[in-house]
Structure 1
Amino acid sequence: MPALAVTSLILSHFRSHRRTEMAFDARPVAIFGPNGAGKTNVLEAVSFLSPGRGLRRAGADEVARRPEAVGWKLKAELQSLHQHHEVETFAEPGASRTVSIDGKAAAQAALGRIARMLWLVPAMDRLWIEGAEGRRRFLDRMTLSFEPGHAEAVLTYEKAMRERNRLLRDEVRDAGWYAALEAQMAEAGGIILANRRNAVSRVAAAQDGAETAFPAADLTILGPDGGDAPQSAEDLAEAFTFGRSRDMAAGRTLSGPHRADLGAVYAAKGVPAAQASTGEQKALLISLILANARALAEDFGAPPILLLDEVAAHLDAGRRAALYDEICALGAQAFMTGTGLELFEALGPRAQAFEVAEVNGLSTTEERTLT
């Protein structure tokens, strides 16, 4: 059994699932069925076994099954680094999400200490051609996978920035107030910058050291409008101080980690990812997820759990088979969705398969056999 795996999962009043129970033996998991049946909801439930708002970035009330509106609950058993853990997470109507690990209340951050998780969802297929916000979020998810404390630095930075932005909008000119907030932003921002650089370096090394059917991407962290990114807390402090007049005119902070972008070049062709074909862009994303997983396996002691929603889209049969081979070679438990069982035939007995169907407004699951 892999050193990290979900071995059981119970969904109660979660999205389209009134009650669903699934047992896993740590092999990759193929989940198939028609669109709208509730496949992605299973992946989202697994993603809630990690800190944050899950792969859809949903609030606690958004995932509760309608029309019951009685709240929701997830229970899972995790095998992590040769230890067994029972995880529960739930939310009552109108309340925030609660987590318990082995029967004891825990902060969400504690989930990151017993499991690491990476995901790829269809919305990310346009990552390279849309705005910087999505790429920045992708960068921070990558960074968080290596350093669970990264989220705390981001929250500290954003809280201080909101206060600074309020001063800017109110045209407050007291330099002392700005200096105090900018010191907090620079300190937290310096941590963010260092964490991001480390993550990009680790993923780059994992790409360079692997023979893979997927193309490598050269990654660069950029500043606003594609310029140079600040490198240290000192750089940030200076930028905040000298940018006050410009920021006041705009009513917001125009420089800092919150304006960063992630640049990517298809290494073998020297072509920016934004100019690659749709299939190449998807392959580059998969390459980065796999490289991230390889690097995490070294750090954490086990490959992360992978959540790959509609992963077969834009992949031909050969590259699809190559992806499955790489997942199995990595030894990762991967949850993958697709509309038909035939999309996963190349996995054969190396994987479990579950069919998800929608019956009278409820999602049902039944285990099938891959041959």
Structure 2
Amino acid sequence: MQALTYEGPWRVTVREKADPRIEHPQDGIVRVETAAICGSDLHILHGLIPDTRVGSTFGHEFVGIIEEVGPQVKGVRPGDRVALPFQIFCGACYYCQRGLTSCCNNTNPGTDAATGMYGYSHTMGGYDGGQAQYVRVPFIGVDAERVPEDVSSLDALPVTDAFPTGYQAAEMCDIKGGETVLVLGCGPVGLFAMWSLWAMGAGRVIAVDGEDYRLAFARRWLGVETLNFRDVDVVTAVKGMTEDLGADATIDAVGAEAAGSATHRALGIYAKLEAGSPQAINTAIHATRKGGVISVIGAYGPPFTGMDLGTYMNKAQTMRTGQASVKRYMPRLFEHIRAGRIRPSEVLTHRGPLEDAPALYRTMARKHDGCIKVALFPNGPTIH
């Protein structure tokens, strides 16, 4: 099969790899209809995630058709069109039984890191991802979610990660109604978080980014207020908009590659001595009111230094975080799509065949050509 292959920091190519095979009786093999490039794929592309090995295949957001299943698989069968949560989880451990599939004990054992994930380094289990024609899916009968017939594969694609991640980010803000919420980052996760905040009853949403085209997309698609951090001091501006209090809650939808001081970019992004830049999380601490909530959904990797813990503690804030437990949100989000409340595919500004993936990675990483998110078609453009 053809698959995207990691060649080292900043380098990916499409090569021929062996077809995946059933390795466990609960495995399945999925023919990938469409796979996305995620902003967190850029973290591993840029060398910020430990133990990313040459030859691995990225891609933790994909939708496809089941080709084959192992002898113990129940609940799905060949021919089913399915969306796969980006986590791999067993469904039976302490955490899975409580809906915390992002904390599964059995698919990335022996570590305090998150559960196994498709295409996200050996730190997350060493599983190959879905930016390929075919992919092995462990625990497919538990993990896979059938896509409703009236939902397109492109609308289902963000439901594998970006949409539920944004939804959980908003949920962690503990919205009661009428709150002012600051969202750092107008990428797909930030955009879906903004939509979810409105759906949950937020009274005001302020979006921050450094790219005017992304801010314009957020205003047009979601009707939010916007700030360009290159033009204003975000903390000063937000306090000026909130009677000098700060936001009731802030979502960090940026993570490790936040633009910030030259020192932290040198230490974290280039020297890899810390897990990227702490600029976004520190902005959240300072721009959120005393007693407010900080929701961290942006991806960081160990080790990490530079967080202003003293200010956070003295402001009596609450921080909630975690990889999104995607599976528990999927039925609800499909209901929103089927009801016509949202078309998630509208964030997929760039689309192309698998062979164009290296160029599309560069376009997304450099924020060129108005790129918000990329959809790839590993087996050709004919999809549901």
- What TM-score do you get using the length of structure 1 for normalisation? 0.26
> Larger relative CO (CA 8 A, sep 6+): 1 or 2?
1
Structure number with greater Rg is: 1
**Which structure shows the bigger proportion of residues in helix conformation?**
1
